[in-house]
Amino acid sequence: MIVDVHTHVYPPTYVELLRRRTTVPYIRNFEDAPESARLIILPGEDDPATPSTSRGRPIGAEYYDIAQKVAFMDMHKIDASVISLANPWLDFLPCEEAGDAARKINDDVEGLCAKYPGRLYAFGTLPLSAPAKTVVKEIERLAGLEHMRGVIMGTSGLGNGLDDPALDPIYEALQKHEQLIFLHPHYGLPSSVYGPRANEYGHVLPLALGFPLETTIAVTRMLLSQVWDRFPKLNVLLAHSGGTLPFLAGRIESCIRHDGHLKKHGKTEGRRDIWDILKTNIYLDAVIYSEVGLKAALDASGAGRLMFGTDHPFFPPLEENTKEWHSVNANYGAISKAFGNNEEAAEQVLGNNARRILKLSP
Ligand code: URA
Ligand code: ZN
């Protein structure tokens, strides 16, 4: 059984919401190409110096038509998918609108899953600009929806990042209801690090480097604020094989051990270290496109904690009339190269782990 745990939708309610907006994030048909809508979501994609026809990305039905998701799954031999709203979720909504919007979008996604029994599950969306008690209420509601298996979240939390103590009631509710957090980047790094020539390089720097570093920093802040010491059963699935976490875990741990400020405040002793958390609380997707990164993820977390993903509908083939997606085949190829003859481990990563961890029906 093959399960895709990293695959997005913008359900119709969310598309309508983006179409009503004029600042990032939004969907718009520009005058110079009125027949094709564009999805503008990333910070900086709205730069007036960029021609409107290359701002953001074209958005077609593959982003919101669930039948196209299932056709994509069929083409790539994916049996089940755990769909999630794509970035930037509801982070940008005024607080008084967020609770209602989350309920509508989650119900919308739950309804999409119900159309394809056994094939679709979902991670819900939280109204993170609302007060923590509204967020907790939605977590409790999601726990009762048949197809929900956790929540997708960005790195901003309630506005101050994931090391914010104000998130504790939310972490507590997620732990209590055994809802996994799928932690996914959106904001990248400040655009100044990409330099004055950044717009010559398309989306490469923010997607290839900004996204993974954002994730790595967010998890490290959770570690430093001892989230997992307070919530030892809180589980987090990290997008893109943990960003760069598997590669940098040793350095992070060493910097903690050698930090005089942390020592003075008694924070170097009696804490759970990153290696323990990687093997107990963290799951990694296998969306890394090469066996080099996948092997680092495997060494850090173990084959029982890695799960196949595609990131569909992002990264479609650019060549016309290509059927299978290169991005998907790169992830399949990385798994078969990393595991060689160890078919059992490859099958774990391709679907058996997701089935067990996310309690999917056979
Ligand atoms: N680009 C995005 O904005 N989100 C993804 O998930 C992948 C690429
Ligand atoms: Zn993604």
The rounded distance, in Å, linking the Cα atoms of 235 and 36 is 40
> pTM for this structure?
0.97
List of residues 6+ apart from 132 with CB closer than 8 A: 158, 166, 167, 169, 170
At 216, which CATH number? 3.20.20.140
Please tell me the predicted confidence (pLDDT) of residue 35: 79
Ligand 2 center to 28 CA (angstroms): 22
pLDDT in tens, 101-130: 999 999 999 999 999 999 999 999 999 999
Residue 87, token pair as written in the block: 């970035």
- Average pLDDT value for the chain: 96
CA distances from 221 to 79, 225, 267 (A): 35, 6, 14
Which one, of 275, 362, 358, 289, lies nearest residue 84 by Cα? 358
Given pLDDT bands bounded at 50, 70 and 90, which one contains residue 224?
very high
CA atoms within 13 A on the CB side of 134: 17
The rounded distance, in Å, linking the Cα atoms of 330 and 315 is 11
| Domain contains 309 | yes
Q: Count CB neighbours of 45 within 10 A.
A: 18
Residue whose Cα lies nearest atom 8 of ligand 1: it is 314
Please tell me the predicted confidence (pLDDT) of residue 149: 98
DSSP 6: E
pLDDT in tens, 56-76: 899 999 999 999 999 999 999
| Domain contains 199 | yes
The arithmetic mean of pLDDT across residues 211-221, rounded, is: 98
Please tell me the predicted confidence (pLDDT) of residue 239: 99
List of residues 6+ apart from 81 with CB closer than 8 A: 3, 4, 5, 7, 69, 73, 119, 120, 121
Given pLDDT bands bounded at 50, 70 and 90, which one contains residue 86?
very high
The arithmetic mean of pLDDT across residues 330-346, rounded, is: 97
Please tell me the predicted confidence (pLDDT) of residue 83: 98
| Domain contains 254 | yes
| Domain contains 49 | no
Ligand 1 center to 302 CA (angstroms): 26
Please tell me the predicted confidence (pLDDT) of residue 52: 78
Ligand 1 center to 147 CA (angstroms): 23
Going by their DSSP bridges, the two strands 180-183 and 236-238 should be labelled as parallel
Please tell me the predicted confidence (pLDDT) of residue 36: 84
Ligand 2 center to 254 CA (angstroms): 30
Q: Does 323 score more than 90 pLDDT? A: no
Q: Is the CB of 87 under 6 A from ligand 1?
A: yes
Q: Is the CB of 314 under 6 A from ligand 1?
A: yes
- Residue ranges making up the domain that contains 234: 3-8+63-357
pLDDT in tens, 253-275: 999 999 999 999 999 999 999 99
| Domain contains 29 | no
The bound ligand whose nearest atom lies closest to the alpha carbon of 206 is: 1
| Domain contains 36 | no
| Domain contains 48 | no
Pocket probe mutation, ligand 1, options 85, 184, 310, 311, max atoms within 8 Å of Cβ = 311
Q: Is the CB of 310 under 6 A from ligand 1?
A: no
Domain count along the chain: 1
Q: Is the CB of 41 under 6 A from ligand 1?
A: yes
pLDDT in tens, 228-257: 999 999 999 999 999 999 999 999 999 999
Q: Does 199 score more than 90 pLDDT? A: no
Q: Does 188 score more than 80 pLDDT? A: yes
Ligand 1 atom having least distance to the Cα of 42? 3
Q: Does 32 score more than 80 pLDDT? A: no
Backbone angles phi, psi at 33, to 5 degrees: -150, 65
Please tell me the predicted confidence (pLDDT) of residue 315: 96
Residue 249, token pair as written in the block: 């875990």
Q: Is the CB of 209 under 6 A from ligand 1?
A: no
Please tell me the predicted confidence (pLDDT) of residue 300: 98
